[in-house]
Structure formats: C-alpha cells, structure tokens
Amino acid sequence: MAGATNRWRLPSEPFSRDLLALSQMCKAMCLDVDDTLQAPDRLYIPKTQKKRSGTLKKAVPSGDGVVTLECLGFQWELHLPQLFQSETLTKLYVSALSEAPASRMRDLERLLPDKRSEAARERPPMKRLTISLRINDPLVTKIAFATALKNLYTSQVDLSLDEVLGVLASAHALQFSNLFQRCVAIMVHGLSPSTVANFYMAGCKYKEEPLSAACEKWMEMNLVAEVGRQIHLQKIPKELLLKVLRSPSLFVFSEFHLLKTLLLWVYLQVNPRLLTFPTHEAVMAFFSSSPKKPCFLDQDMECGFAEIFLCLRLHGITRGQDLDVLRHLNFFPESWLIRVTANHYHAMESGGDMAFAKDLTNQAVRFGLLFYKEYTTYSEMIAIYGFFFAMRGVRNNSTSYSFYMQRIRPADVGFPSEVCEHGLVSLRPERLVKYEIRAQALVDGRWQEFGTKPVVQKFRFVRPNCRSQVLQIQTAGSPIYVSFSFIFPAS
C-alpha cells in the first residue's frame, strides 16, 4: 500500500493493480488517471534508469521530487520519475546530490526511514535541487528541447518532419533512448528529396547506423528518379553520393541520365547561391563554355569531382547524340573520351561483342523503368550496337507483376524512330547476352528485393528465343524500380 508519506514510487511493472497507489502516483506525476488506465506505459521507467536511481527513489518523497533544470537560458521543473528516463539528467542529479553541502546531506538523512522515531512521517521539506545542462549542438533549439522534455511525461506527442531533427538532437543530448529511436523511425519513414541529406548527416553525426543506411538505400533508388530533378540535389554531400554511385543496386534510367544528374550536382556545387532549379540547357551551356584546355575536371581537381565521375560507366553511353554531347561538353579529359570511342569502335567491328566489359556487377550497361500500380502494361525501347530490345512490365493482379526483356525488329510496328536515329542496325540473326533483371519496392518502410540470377542467353527474333527469363514478383509497393543490366560477351 502507498501511504500518505509515500505519494509515488517507481513501479517494477508498467502498471500497478493498487488503484489507490495509482491515483497518488498520477497526482504526483501530473497525469490523468483515466488516460493512464488506457495507456499505463507512461508510468514505466526503463530498467537502466531504475538502476541508476537506486536508493534515491526510496529516499525522496514526491513533495520534494521536483528538480529545476537550467538549460538554453530557460528553467524547467521536472519530476524525478520523468527525470530518471534521461541518463544525462540522472547523472546530473546524482552528481548534484553527491556534491551537495553538508546541510543538504543532513536533510537527505532525515528523509531516510527511522524506525525509532514515530515522527518520521512529519519530515521537513528539502530545498529544491537545481541542475544545469550545457548543450553546444546547433540542432538543439529551445522549442525542440521543450518538446523532448514533454515526451518525458507522455509518449503520445505528435512529431512533424519539420521538428523531428531538432527533437532527435535533443533526445541525444538527454540520452533519452526511447524518444531517440522514435525519432529515427519517423525519419526513416519520412525520407524525401528535401529531407534525405539532413537525415543522413544526422545519422552520421549521432552514429545511428540504421538511419544512415536507410538514407543510403533510399538514395540508391531515387538519386536519378527523384532527387536529380529538384534543387535539393544541391545539399547531397559528396560522401553520400560516392556511396550511392558505388552501390551495385543503384537505379538508373540509363547511363546518360545518371551523367546528367551528376553534371547537375557539380553545377549546383559551383553555384551554391542558386535558388531555382536550372534547366538542362543552362547546365550544358555552362560546361561547354569553359576553357578548352584544361578540361573542367582537370581545372577543379582540388574539389575531387573526378572521383565521382570515375564511378560512371561511360561505355554504357552508346547513342550517337549522347556521345556528341560528351565531346562538346569539354568536361572530361581527352584520354577518357578516346577510351570510350575506342571501346565502341571495337565493339561495332566485332558485331557488338564487349571485350572491355566482363564483370556483370560492375561493368554492365544499365537501363531501368518505374512501374506504378496504376499501369496494366508498360515498356521502354533501348538500342545498343544495332540490337534493339524492349523492357516490358505487366501487372497480373493487384499485387503480382511480371518483367522481362524482349528482342525486337526495327521494322516492328510502334518502334520509336528516335531510338535508332543516327544509329546502326545489326543484321545478325542472334545475339548472345549475359543479363540480370532486378526489381525493388518500398513497403512499410522496408525495401523488398527481387531478381533473377545472371543468365547467358541467345536472343533471336522468334519466340520463345526472343524473350528473356520472366521475373515474377509479389509486392504491395509502388512504384517498382526495375533494373535491366547486361553485357554482350563474345559469341
């Protein structure tokens, strides 16, 4: 039973069946009894904090269980049960007690149970203890810190994406693990072009690997598809960009789309005051107008841009118009362009064989498509060294999809003329292809991954040899990021 001099206690279980004690505890903790009966977890104090509070919970009655916290130029009054949820505040409180003057220690001794004195129930009140916390983290604002303290009393405070970063920083400063992990979960589910950079840097700063990994994975899927189309690309740190570019799971529509995204990122880095999203023509004109010698990458070697473009697969850019853009940009060293041209020349001379590409994981030519749940069927046409393929997706039902690659004739009805414009048409009846098809979708904050194994197959014009293996998947996610990677090995 909880007596008149024991208005609250630290429960060993989240909920006590002693309703009288529960009422007294709620009154001391400024909680509503009815709300507590519906959500008793708010009375629970983690075991790590209970161990630290140890003998304090028996020594200090509720009437004196209020501590004044000085931080960020404000003063907050906290009750001990809530204070003990924060490891930082617990340490400060214990330290303040241990360093208290003798008079305070005598007050504390008078509070300890004394069986010899019947007057123990009429103990004089202790002087209120004040602790100070200094925070140098610029992410911790007064509003965010106040929100974090509010979460010491209730876990049902709604957090928006605009404030979650500051609350995360405050929870880290307070060593309030429950709130910190709650913020991480909100951030993982709230990744977008406008938030991914700040969330990634927060994950690195506070050494929260799951948050950093979630940002990296999201960027692998959306660097080209989402971020590369918005001004938020400017905030993406180079470290994150390199990790994403080196990932074998990177989603791209084509190698040329990836090149345009990286050129845009460099343009935004050298023009940091730009507030509006630049047009593709403006970016191309900027690099084309740079001095002929040296090229842009040689001019800005101290910026480390070359390291980023070494991750590109320039040999995957085969369309004549795109190669003309490369030559007129004056961006890449001449040696790079000569190597790309030589690779293409030898491939065309040998009927499409890519002697320069043997590793499917790191050297394959990549194409991709986004398949939304509203689609019934969807296809994209691609051409390389005179061979033409269609990447196709089919929705079988609400959660079942099929994806495959099919060789087509240039004369087929519906073939877009721009695909083979200024290009070659191969007359070879068959083409040996080593390929892999992968699909990924986000469901409830987790990425589902599907894929075929690497396959070596001869493609002809007639069925069934004109089709690749079919990748069939079951997922509720949308969109589905579908990647086709292939090389033409020697026949």
Q: Is residue 239 part of a domain?
A: no
More reliable by pLDDT, 9 or 132: 132
| Contact between residue 487 and residue 316 where contact means Cβ atoms under 8 Å apart | no
pLDDT value of residue 195:
96
**pLDDT of 258 higher than 90:** yes
Say whether both 39 and 139 belong to one domain.
Answer: yes
- For residues 99 and 42, membership in a common domain is answered with yes
Query: What pLDDT shows up at residue 320?
Result: 85
Phi, psi at 397, each rounded to 5°: -155, -165
Give the pair of three-digit tokens for residue 330. 């004056």
* Whether residue 365 sits in one domain with residue 328: no
The domain tally of the chain equals: 3
Question: Concatenated DSSP letters for 364-414?
Answer: -EEEEEEE-TT-SEEEEEEEETTEEEEEEEEE-SSSEEEEEEEE--TTSTT
Which alpha helices (H) appear in 393-482, and where do they start and end?
Answer: 417-420
Q: Are strands 431-443 and 471-474 parallel, antiparallel or unpaired?
A: unpaired
Same structural domain, 290 and 325: yes
Element (H, E) at 345: helix 334-349
Q: Are residues 278 and 323 in the same domain?
A: yes
Q: Does 177 reside within a domain?
A: no
Rounded Cα distance, 216 and 447, in Å: 12
328 lies in the same domain as 286: yes
User: What single letter denotes the amino acid at residue 349?
Assistant: E
Q: What angle do CA 365, 370, 371 make, to 5 degrees?
A: 130
Same domain as 381, residue 263: no
Q: Residues 199-222: what's their mean pLDDT?
A: 96
Same-domain pairing of 368 and 330: no
Other Cβ atoms within 10 Å of 24 Cβ, number: 19
Q: Is residue 236 part of a domain?
A: no
Asked if 200 and 430 count as a contact pair (C-beta separation under 8 A), the reply is: no
Percent helix, percent strand, percent coil in the chain, to nearest 5: 45, 15, 40
d(CA 24, CA 43): 12
Same domain, 384 and 476: yes
Q: Of the given ranges (23-32, 179-188, 348-357), which has the lowest mean pLDDT? A: 23-32
Q: Confirm whether 68 is domain-assigned.
A: yes
- Is residue 481 assigned to a domain? yes
Q: pTM (2 decimals)?
A: 0.80
Beta carbons within 8 Å of 155's beta carbon, 6+ residues apart: 41, 42, 178, 179, 182
Q: In which domain, by residue range, is 373 found?
A: 361-487
The domain that holds 479 is classified in CATH as 2.60.210
For 93-120, what is each residue's pLDDT tens digit? 888 887 765 555 555 554 444 544 444 4
- Half-sphere exposure (Cβ direction) of 106: Cα atoms closer than 13 Å: 3
Question: Which of 114-118, 333-337, 432-436 bottoms out in mean pLDDT, i.e. has the lowest?
Answer: 114-118
**Does residue 274 fall inside a structural domain?**
yes
Does residue 311 lie in a domain region?
yes
Q: Note whether 342 and 458 are same-domain residues.
A: no
Assess if residue 6 is contained within a domain. no
Same domain, 380 and 332: no
Provide the pairing of β-strand 431-443 with 387-395: unpaired
For residues 412 and 126, what is the distance between their CA atoms, to the nearest angstrom? 90
Residues 39-93: pLDDT tens digits? 555 555 444 344 444 434 444 444 456 889 999 888 988 888 888 999 999 999 8
Residues 343 and 369 in one domain: no
Q: Average per-residue pLDDT in the chain?
A: 83
Average the pLDDT over each of 167-171, 291-295, 317-321, 415-419 and give the range with the smallest value.
415-419
